[in-house]
Structure 1
Amino acid sequence: MDTNGIHIEQRVAQLEALNQQRLNRARLVLTKPGLKVFDLIAPLLHFNHPDLPGYVGGSCPAGIQNYQLPASDRKLLAEWEHFRPELVEDGDILGVFCMGSTASLGQCCDSDLDVWVIYDSQLNAQQRMMLEQKCQKITDWSAQLGIEANFFLVDPEQFIRSHRQVITKDNCGSTQNWLLLDEFYRSCVRLAGCNLLWFLVPVDCEEQYSEYVAALFEDEQLEHKAWVDLGGIARVPAEEYFGAALWQLYKGIDSPFKAVLKTLLLESYSHQYPNTRLLCHEFKQRWMSGCCDPMGLDSYRLVLDHVSKYLRGQNDLLRLDLARRCFYLKTCMVLSQPVEKVNWQVVAMRQLLADWNWDPDLLSELDRRESWKVEHVKRAYREVLEALMVGFRKLIEFARRNQISEAINPEDIGVLSRKLYASFEMTTSKVELINPNIAPSLYEPVITLVQVPEGRSVAAGWYLYKTPLRASSMIGAKHQKHADHLSRLIAWAYFNGIINPSTEIHLHAPGSHICIDSVRRMVRDLASAMPVKFAPTRKEELSKPSEIRQLMLFVNLSDPRLPTDIKIPMAHTDESFDVFSAGQDMVNLVQSVDMLYLSSWNEIHSYHFSGNEAILDCMVMLTSKMHKQANIPMRSDVFCYSHQGELAIGQQVRQVLLDSMTMRLDRTGSGSDYRMFTLADERFALFFERRSVYKHKLENPVDFYRHISHNKLGGRDRAASETTESVAPTIVENHASEGLVQFFFEHDADGFNIYVVDEANQVELYEHFKGSKEELVQSVNRFYSSSKQRQPDDDDEQKINFNLPQFYEIVERNGSKHILPYGAAGRVSQSVNL
């Protein structure tokens, strides 16, 4: 049999030549440690020896089919002097491939190695687990050399059956099965083992892929053991685009330049639907036609060309310019200066720059990326984010036009949308992080904080300048950030790496009680309590409502001047002294509280409370953010900046904080509690009920008891005891989380009940629902993802709503009710975590 008029032997030779060309190109770009890892991946998978990295005892799968150890690799293995290569027969690994940017124009010095390990489908669960452990050990060894190598295990039979195998390090779930295969086929480099059958099937035969492959073997020109098959790609289902777009936005959090290109590619694919021309087909058609230009087969150049053609067709010159800049920045080249080592990448990139006719100043600015500071990064971040949002909106419109339901399961879409919500959705309290791997450091050695009072020509609040407080420096200087209160401005500067304790800070706040020493102390306290970088959010956390992980209260950052007659005891343990009602004049010594917290979704929120009731307002806001099943924050700190009574104030605020969180999270079933306060000469109570926390001013002693008797009955809300108990089980109310929409499914004899908890924790019950639960979930997701888009505002902030509903199931086990993420009950996930 021939393929497009070429005999099968010629096609195999052509494939070998392509692979060797890619191997050579990858090696020319890799660093010395990277080259060592690259060349040892196959030998370390092939052999399972105690002296080698990646060794797993017992019957760990090893051996790569059709693999012979090259002489060059024997020299590398000589580093382990006690190891002697032995013959390995009938390998359990069918093929080992690198994919992604490897061997392409997009490969740079810090590119990771994404390795697909295709194994024999006959391996049992124990063997697969051992092979996974082996790969993880090789990953750990690579990390010691400064190289990130990620291994993805692939069962070819399961892959062909479902294309739903989870094979990415970040668990993309079911969001881009076909599109991932599209990228793999156009970019793969075979390190060892069998060749891929896909390369022998002409593009116009992919509709009959299985029949064509069967005919190849019937002619007996191919041996089964020499080939591995992951199936063909006739067309990408429309349902996949929405999930894939979410996933690229997710990836964009950490790799913004690459995410722009991939999101634009998805957008162009959807624009062509239903006649989408996949890049893997474009690549294979060129290759089969005898294309000899390596750039014509370069996987990253293919993306750029495809995206550029689409954007020119849309007359979208702004995003075309951005796509080119993102492409250049992804390569990490510096071409505005003489290049010490001119390799094939430099030659190819210079040709592109000549075609683009860039201004030399633009090229110089891009080449200074390593030294970009806040003004450059803010501009780049906004451009990238806006491009991602435009692409996402177009894909949502595509989904609505085609009336498709999302192909990803509800648990996956919930995790992805919550991650995007946490990273991109801006609320009034959220501290925006502007540097997702755009520049190495935004640190400034000197900054000035300026307060503008009400009634001026510019908005009141606080402004940050990266200049000293001198007229010569400040005149004409542009502020870098504005915030309504000081603590949020400091938090923004700290978490974006602009300031740290070594920064020289100046303050201009005429008429304010804030002093420079307190500001500097706050920065030191932030640095001591919370690192700038924190661990990535785990999928398990995103499957649950957001919780407060770390909490900081800053008391009296603006310290009021106290009456001179107040005698504050030296010992902060003096319980007779009340900082909330001190001295003969009953003065409340707590006049401002600034709250900052890190959530389990890695959001940073900042709140400011001032006035006589600041402590109550703070406790109401804080505990309202805690659902009843939440955990106490792993760390809570209280910092006080009062000139007098710092220890006493800090201690008593800390006790109020502990009491409030304890009462809110009480799970004994009492349902409510309260705490009394005297603030100055006024009496208040904080009431902690199942679904709400609120303060109430008590006009006289009788008012308190009246409030208790009218609103409580046996320790529960009267409303709850009379109506809510029949509407929502306690476990639902305990799981309610303010600001989120949640759906809880509970089976009964006549179908299932649905409890819907809205953003304000109000519950509605829909009984005896008999329809399809899956269809309901998909329709709700479609509604929220399409109809809740916000219109652009004057500040050009985000327009997309990522706060999609959360879905749960109520199950009964061992006589008690439990809540599980929807889809987790009654099924075992087929995901493989690698």
Structure 2
Amino acid sequence: MAEAVSLKDGIGRQDLRTVRRRFLGLHRERLRVIARELTPNQRAFVDLLPLLFHINHPTLPGFAGSDTPIGIPDYTPTQAVLRLARKLSRSFEYKKRARRRFYIQALYLMGSIGSIAHTSGSDFDIWLCHDPELDSTERELLRLKARKLEAWGKELNLEVHFFIMEVDAFRNGKLDALSHESSGTTQPHLLLEEFYRTGVLLAGRYPVWWMVPPEEEGNYTQYVEMLFHKRFIDPLDCLDFGSLESIPVEEFLGAAHWQLFKGIESPYKTILKLFLTEAYARDYPDIRWLCQETKRAIYDGDFDLRKLDPYVLMYQRVEQYLQGRNEKDRLELARRCLYFKSEQTLSQDQPQLRDDWKREVLEVLTRGWGWRRGELVNLDSRQNWKIDQVMDERNSLVRELSYSYRLLTDFAREYASTDAIDPEELSLLGRKLYTALEKRPGKIDSINPGITRNLYEERVSLHYTRTRGDQYAWFLYLGEVNESAARVTSPLKTAACLSEILAWCHLNRLINLNTIITLYPKENPIRQEELFAILGTLNNLYPPHETHPVPMAQLKQPPRALSCTLFLNTGIDPMAHLAKVGKQLTTERSDPLSFGSAHSSLVETIEQLITTSWGETLVTYHQGTRGLLESLCLYLRMGLQGDVGQHPASATAHCFNSVRGGSTARRVEKLFNDVMHCFSESGTGLNSRYLQQIEDDFYLIHYQNDKFSYFPITGDQEVLDILSEPQRSFRPTTIDSLSLASTPLPCILRHNRAGAIQVFYSTQKGQTELYILDEHGALFHQQMQEADEHYLLVQQQRFLKGMLLLRSLSLPSDQPSHRYLLDAPEFYHLSRNRNGDYVAEPRTPPRHRLPDSYMELRLISEGLDLNQSPHLLVCGDREFSSLEYGPELYSTVAQHLLDQRIGHKAYPIYLTSLEISGIGSEESATTIQLLKFKKRLEGRLNQALIKLKP
């Protein structure tokens, strides 16, 4: 042990040099320990890092351009480092240049690196401190260089994370945004304490914290100012990351969130840190920081690496804390966490190494804990633990993580007085915890958070059994468990549908394509071929050992579907069922949703798997037509949530149990994707409607009151009634490609566009069918006697133009009226092509006027309710008033028109124009309402005309 630094008469320059030399010596020793844990190529990575940030050379790793900021103060590469560089690049030649400015202030390693917890899989967290004067372009180049070096590290099996830091900003609380690796504003003081305790200086300026004696920690800021003012140390030689003088109590709340978030993936490391945070919270506000113990030892000249190992110090403090609370089970868990984190296997004899210090430290600790060989053998076989033991351990870990989280959050909320943490960050972490830990029906929960590498079972049994509620469910057992054994054995997992239990097994890596799966009972509806077809689909959908962390940015939005997979009719052959109940199947009607002469749906059950942007996999089970539509609405809701502009996930459907399974799956898959396209931005948007036929009924899917829903429609006439309902804004309707194919409706609605009035007509069998789409997408239909095309077009054009003109003249002066004058109605003639499909051919109405003998018929009224509003029917120059003629008005007008016609022919009467007060106001009738009104009025006149016929 070296002599302690004496501070009785105040610190002097010689004392400061001694302290600095001791810290640097400790860091050199830690770097030697780190080097022993690395492969030669990995050691080269660490040794070369300072050189790569000191110079820019195009043939060395990480080169991001000649303008990338470089230069580390007081750094000169050794000959060994230069030899490593020349191995990577034969053209490399180091030229020492005098620099006026160094843009890279320091490089530090921090975390478990070099400690007893350092393993081959440990992350390399590197703090890259830069000149605060760098502009945005220079910072981006530095980030690019860091990303390139992270990629190089990955090639060497190193997981490297650079944290680009501006020290002054860090000290003032301006931190990196929350991410999978950065804790954001949630725990800056606790992060700083860990940095002071674990950080290893690679190159550059040292932390001025080294130079503040332990007893001066409470007076840190003033002491540093004194050191600078009296020129004991040069500010250009060090960096001031800040002090631990005070910590906001809210930080314990943030730390609880952050550590629990990290604990989802690395529970053993996290539990130790959470327990340490609890110990700090117990001492609040007079916290005994571990980094101060390290500093005290260095000032006292006692810098034994084993005693100052960051993880050993952390465990010892946790042990004191938990023993003080008499929490023996939690203490045992803390010991397991340290043991597993070290990745030592003390039950196995190892070749005696010259300096196997980690093993020696663990042996001393475990002897003190009273661990016997049997316990060590069990712990060392962790990678071979099977599912039951893993689930017990997982439940224990989650229980302790949750308990510690509650302790810290209760403490913080009791004492909190200011808002030191970004509430959005807490919200994001809360969402992540919710998705990872919350259990709910249909959600595939993870049972192996880094406990073991291999859970695969050679054999499992699946039982399809009636439950107490008279429903059927699937029960999973490990090994070969027959029906009699199942009565006395607890199942490992139960689920309502097969795909849920298989997805749970697959995603938790419990079974693979080689696992023997036995099905019970023998009359089980599932065939082995279907079972393995579903497993193969899951294997393609979720490749084994492929995991993707959820970016924090995705948690800012509601969870949206990243994939949607449908398994149809699992264990059911609908064709066999239909034949059994005597339904006729021999027909040309092949639509699986309205199949055969009985118009039956071939979709009986739907098992829907949705993977979300929050990292969840959800399974829902649906039955029949209602279930199909509910699963469709769920897919729409989850597929169209989140950022505007996101491309919705496509749905895939699978059906393995019927001769028509493939066509049924393709039909449902197309339906789901067509509907999704309809409501997406690339289609016609959320204001759309989608009409679908299933069996003999129609269903209209729409978005209303912030949700997707559907309602049934019975028969073609009700379809027309629904489509003709007035709309106050444009609502286009899409008709499914196989629905209403024998009618012109799909063709008509494909032409629909906002703001246009479109007229469609066809004539056959002595009748004319007239369809008009108004500017909001409502559809008017009228059937009439066969009409001459010339007069039909002229009449409709005259009526619609008159209505638009009247509407434009009635608009307030501050609203543009020219739109109604310019948007002339469009006309289309409907006919069928060789395939029998309807096509719409544009028509241009005749330009010449109606003949002088043509009798105009106008209605003048104050409103659409003719029973309440006085009105006039004007035939040429003659006026007929409802006040004068009363109930005889229509027969009188019909008689007058009949008298004017040559030969007194009783062909239908049509209105030429409507003149209704207030037609241009927002509250006035829509075009579809006026057309319906015109149709009703014409109906009254034509009924009166029929009665006048001889």
Give TM class, smaller chain. Answer: 0.7 to 0.9
Q: TM-score, normalised by structure 2?
A: 0.70
Query: In the alignment, residue 677 of structure 1 is paired with which amino acid?
Result: Q
**Structure 1 residue 634 corresponds to structure 2 residue 649:** yes
**Structure 1 residue 677 corresponds to structure 2 residue 720:** no
* Bigger shift: residues 337-346 or 505-514: 505-514
Q: Offset at 1:700?
A: 7.2
Encode CA deviations 1:600-654: one digit per residue, 9 max, x unaligned: 1111100111245331232233334345658453332110123221132112212
Matched with 1:73 is: 81
**Following the alignment from structure 1 to structure 2, what is the Cα–Cα distance between the partners of residues 567 and 529?**
38
* Bigger shift: residues 54-63 or 550-559: 54-63
User: Do the aligned partners of 1:256 and 1:437 also contact (CA within 8 Å) in 2?
Assistant: yes
User: Do the aligned partners of 1:555 and 1:650 also contact (CA within 8 Å) in 2?
Assistant: yes
**Structure 1 residue 255 corresponds to structure 2 residue 270:** no
Q: Offset at 1:355?
A: 0.9
23, 26, 34: which is aligned to 1:26? 34
Q: Offset at 1:240?
A: 1.5
Matched with 2:563 is: 550
Matched with 1:324 is: 335
**Structure 1 residue 655 corresponds to structure 2 residue 670:** yes
User: Do the aligned partners of 2:562 and 2:639 also contact (CA within 8 Å) in 1?
Assistant: no
Encode CA deviations 1:121-150: one digit per residue, 9 max, x unaligned: 233332222222222222222211111222
Pair 404,552 (structure 1): closer, same or farther in 2 beyond 3 Å: farther
Encode CA deviations 1:518-542: one digit per residue, 9 max, x unaligned: 1111011122233343422223322
Q: Offset at 1:74?
A: 3.1
Within a 5 Å distance, the mapping from 1:397-546 to structure 2 comes to 397-404=410-417, 406-455=419-468, 461-468=473-480, 479-509=491-521, 512-532=524-544, 533-546=546-559
* Bigger shift: residues 417-426 or 256-265: 417-426
* Bigger shift: residues 349-358 or 168-177: 168-177
**Following the alignment from structure 2 to structure 1, what is the Cα–Cα distance between the partners of residues 426 and 465?**
44
596, 604, 607: which is aligned to 1:591? 604
Q: Offset at 1:592?
A: 0.5
Pair 683,520 (structure 1): closer, same or farther in 2 beyond 3 Å: same
Q: Offset at 1:464?
A: 1.8
User: Do the aligned partners of 1:429 and 1:607 also contact (CA within 8 Å) in 2?
Assistant: yes
Pair 206,613 (structure 1): closer, same or farther in 2 beyond 3 Å: same
**Following the alignment from structure 2 to structure 1, what is the Cα–Cα distance between the partners of residues 56 and 287?**
44
User: Do the aligned partners of 1:673 and 1:689 also contact (CA within 8 Å) in 2?
Assistant: no
SS in 2 for 1:297: coil
144, 147, 167: which is aligned to 1:136? 147
Query: In the alignment, residue 90 of structure 2 is paired with which amino acid?
Result: E
Pair 352,139 (structure 1): closer, same or farther in 2 beyond 3 Å: same
Matched with 1:693 is: 708
Q: Offset at 1:227?
A: 2.0
Matched with 2:320 is: 309
Q: Offset at 1:664?
A: 4.2
Higher relative contact order (CA 8 A, sep 6+): 1
Q: Offset at 1:471?
A: 8.0
**Unmatched 5+ residue regions in structure 1?**
718-834
Matched with 1:178 is: 189
User: Do the aligned partners of 2:72 and 2:104 also contact (CA within 8 Å) in 1?
Assistant: yes
**Following the alignment from structure 1 to structure 2, what is the Cα–Cα distance between the partners of residues 418 and 28?**
40
Query: In the alignment, residue 536 of structure 2 is paired with which amino acid?
Result: R
**Structure 1 residue 85 corresponds to structure 2 residue 85:** no
Within a 5 Å distance, the mapping from 1:105-254 to structure 2 comes to 105-162=116-173, 164-165=175-176, 170-254=181-265
Report the count of equivalent residues.
711
SS in 1 for 2:694: strand
Q: Offset at 1:235?
A: 2.1
* Bigger shift: residues 220-229 or 272-281: 220-229
SS in 1 for 2:306: helix
**Following the alignment from structure 2 to structure 1, what is the Cα–Cα distance between the partners of residues 625 and 687?**
28
Query: In the alignment, residue 527 of structure 1 is paired with which amino acid?
Result: N
Query: In the alignment, residue 104 of structure 2 is paired with which amino acid?
Result: I
Matched with 1:732 is: none
297, 303, 316: which is aligned to 1:286? 297
Question: RMSD between aligned alpha carbons?
Answer: 3.1
Q: Offset at 1:279?
A: 2.0
Query: In the alignment, residue 119 of structure 2 is paired with which amino acid?
Result: C
User: Do the aligned partners of 1:31 and 1:109 also contact (CA within 8 Å) in 2?
Assistant: no
SS in 1 for 2:577: coil
Encode CA deviations 1:54-102: one digit per residue, 9 max, x unaligned: 2232232222211122233233223132212221444322222111011
**Structure 1 residue 369 corresponds to structure 2 residue 393:** no
Matched with 1:725 is: none
Query: In the alignment, residue 424 of structure 2 is paired with which amino acid?
Result: E
593, 606, 626: which is aligned to 1:613? 626
User: Do the aligned partners of 1:468 and 1:474 also contact (CA within 8 Å) in 2?
Assistant: no
User: Do the aligned partners of 2:173 and 2:185 also contact (CA within 8 Å) in 1?
Assistant: no
Query: In the alignment, residue 31 of structure 1 is paired with which amino acid?
Result: T
Matched with 2:860 is: none
Query: In the alignment, residue 147 of structure 2 is paired with which amino acid?
Result: Q
Q: Offset at 1:116?
A: 1.3
SS in 1 for 2:463: strand
52, 64, 70: which is aligned to 1:62? 70
Query: In the alignment, residue 500 of structure 1 is paired with which amino acid?
Result: N
**Following the alignment from structure 1 to structure 2, what is the Cα–Cα distance between the partners of residues 549 and 569?**
40
Q: Offset at 1:556?
A: 0.5
**Structure 1 residue 645 corresponds to structure 2 residue 660:** yes
**Following the alignment from structure 1 to structure 2, what is the Cα–Cα distance between the partners of residues 165 and 456?**
53
Within a 5 Å distance, the mapping from 1:37-56 to structure 2 comes to 37-56=45-64
SS in 1 for 2:307: helix
**Following the alignment from structure 1 to structure 2, what is the Cα–Cα distance between the partners of residues 405 and 446?**
57
Matched with 2:824 is: none
**Following the alignment from structure 1 to structure 2, what is the Cα–Cα distance between the partners of residues 212 and 455?**
74
User: Do the aligned partners of 2:459 and 2:515 also contact (CA within 8 Å) in 1?
Assistant: yes
Q: Offset at 1:672?
A: 5.1
User: Do the aligned partners of 1:451 and 1:461 also contact (CA within 8 Å) in 2?
Assistant: yes
**Following the alignment from structure 1 to structure 2, what is the Cα–Cα distance between the partners of residues 99 and 88?**
30
**Following the alignment from structure 1 to structure 2, what is the Cα–Cα distance between the partners of residues 707 and 583?**
27
Pair 593,55 (structure 1): closer, same or farther in 2 beyond 3 Å: same
Q: TM-score, normalised by structure 1?
A: 0.79
**Unmatched 5+ residue regions in structure 2?**
733-950
Query: In the alignment, residue 144 of structure 2 is paired with which amino acid?
Result: Q
Q: Offset at 1:551?
A: 0.8
Encode CA deviations 1:478-524: one digit per residue, 9 max, x unaligned: 53322232211111111111223333322114554322221111011
User: Do the aligned partners of 1:547 and 1:631 also contact (CA within 8 Å) in 2?
Assistant: no
Query: In the alignment, residue 52 of structure 1 is paired with which amino acid?
Result: L
* Bigger shift: residues 487-496 or 523-532: 523-532
Pair 558,84 (structure 1): closer, same or farther in 2 beyond 3 Å: same
280, 283, 289: which is aligned to 1:269? 280
Encode CA deviations 1:752-784: one digit per residue, 9 max, x unaligned: xxxxxxxxxxxxxxxxxxxxxxxxxxxxxxxxx
**Following the alignment from structure 1 to structure 2, what is the Cα–Cα distance between the partners of residues 362 and 287?**
37
